[in-house]
Structure 1
Amino acid sequence: MAQKLMDQVVEKLRVEHYSLRTEKTYCHWIRRFILFHRKRHPAEMGKYEVEQFLSALAVKDKVSASTQNQALAALLFLYRKVLSTDLPWLDDVVRARRTVRIPVVLSPSEVRAVIQALPAPYQLMVQLLYGAGLRRTELLSLRVKDVDMGLSMLTVREGKGGKDRVVPLPQACRSALTEQLRASRLVYEQDRAQKLPGVVLPWALEKKYPKAGETWAWHWLFPQAELSRDPRTGITRRHHFYPQTLSRALARAVAGAGINKLVRCHTFRHSFATHLLQSGTDIRTIQTLLGHSHVETTMIYTHVAKVGAGAVSPLDRL
């Protein structure tokens, strides 16, 4: 019964156009919820069992508030979208309060040191993370058609929340970007010569335009060297760079640069926003460039920017 239910969950997630990452995460929490209650069917459970599970996550497993809320979101999806159950008590389930964390931000000299320590093509990747404020998945999902050298802009498709946006193309990246397009073209021509399946297309586009995945415009800007099996279709094809590959290269560069901060790919997005604020860019423009729905999300960067912009300790005035 549990396996049949999970098939329904996966089917509904794909119909609703959730990302593969969200699909894996929701399935993980729904399975844990069922196993926690000794494989009882969720239809037989209610508010008490949900709260019991969430409490165990916080007290026994000591997960963070964001992780607990992630588990709750998966259960809300299960009951509302899969089981189509009208349960008013779901609205009363208390969500854990998220702790507001100040983002880790690098100084311009630290950004420069990390970039210089990276080999190609990782150097260009981090330059775009910092220079255009991209998320890691947004960077790796770039297609050839998303790069407009003439208008000096990048088009980010299906960002967080399924939103598209346009960001400026850093002029410092033009030369390296031209080389990367050339390298990607070689991979593309090799795949076409071997008559490999085209790259994966978003949602139903593959049915509407069956041959579009074999065109140069839809090819990845950063194609992975090896072929990989598509987890949804089972087709072996060319995928974009693996996120873990970029993260490992970045970790080596940070260590080599001697930086003792906890640096992740997202750190360069934080640095992008903070440095723009410090240079006088208005908060609304930064909100648009980052793709935030609410300006309150962008306001977190003002905490770091104000200190870095010249706030002087009273001790230094003595």
Structure 2
Amino acid sequence: MNINTDRTSSPAFPKVAFLGPAGTYSHQCARDKFGTNVEYVEQPNISAIFDVLSEEIPYAVVPQQNSTFGSVIETYDNLRRDDIGQRIHVKGEITISIQHCLAVRSGIRPEGIKRIVSHEQALGQCAQYLSTHYPDAVRHKAPSTGQAALSLLRSDEVGLDDESELQTKSAAICSVLCAKMNGLEIVQENIQDRNNFTRFYVLSIDAEAKPPQLPESPQLFRALIRLESVHVEGHDLFARRPLQLVMGTLLTTFGVPTTRIDRRPSLNSTPFEDVYFIELEELGAPDYSIDRSGVYASWLHKVHQMAERARSSGVYATLLGVW
């Protein structure tokens, strides 16, 4: 566990885990929204962020989706875990603009780049640029954009044979801040394919506590519910007709706008069985700004009722978060 130096360690400030190292978009997101009200703790990958949440580190930010490249698979894979909705809860969201740059070590010629390193989301978000300008370059995945930048300084991280090959052939996709923090030269800025935004979930070990310094959202509330099969011997409708049952649940049980539906393979042993993640939205009442707590309490009660109705209809529903 590596504690970032944005704030000196103090029991007066809660800790927030993020996908490190310093300079990643997760770090930028956390700093933009939490400021100096927390202590930052970097983690090597998204799974480690979920693992480290505890009384010592009660909050975290994880990337959830990108406007260009879609859902962040590692985040949704972790949302399948049994402790999500029990020990770990989604308690907020943050969206930031993502502007990538192509960076190299000092003195490297751009025309000599043969390998480009970054997180798979960043590689996907810059696919058109890479295909146009570096069609023959090998695209190498890294755990984060920050680690991609650091990898240019360590040949073993990118699988190259020696230091001279590293110096002449590798580039990283990362933020301008990250490139400058690591002493890299920027070949080109704004290489993302289009207007590019990433949405992050804020995680907490407390279902009731409000994370520090999150912005107020005066127009809506949201909730995330996970739907899974209820296995009954000789009568497993979900496994045979999952999509129909999910859509029926949305239409007849929830009764509020559904803003997202994501799915991942189930963790059980049944082949081709999926877990569905349903994000719901409720428009705020007219007096929302005056009585936020009352409107939120009403929304929380409604969400719990919807989850109970889903369970009674033959679908196992787990409430993963309300915000």
Query: Smaller-chain TM-score range?
Result: under 0.3
Query: Which of the pair has more CA radius of gyration?
Result: 1
Which gives a bigger RCO, structure 1 or 2 (Cα 8 Å, sep 6+)?
A: 2
Q: TM-score, normalised by structure 1?
A: 0.26
- Whichever structure has more strand as a proportion of its residues is 2
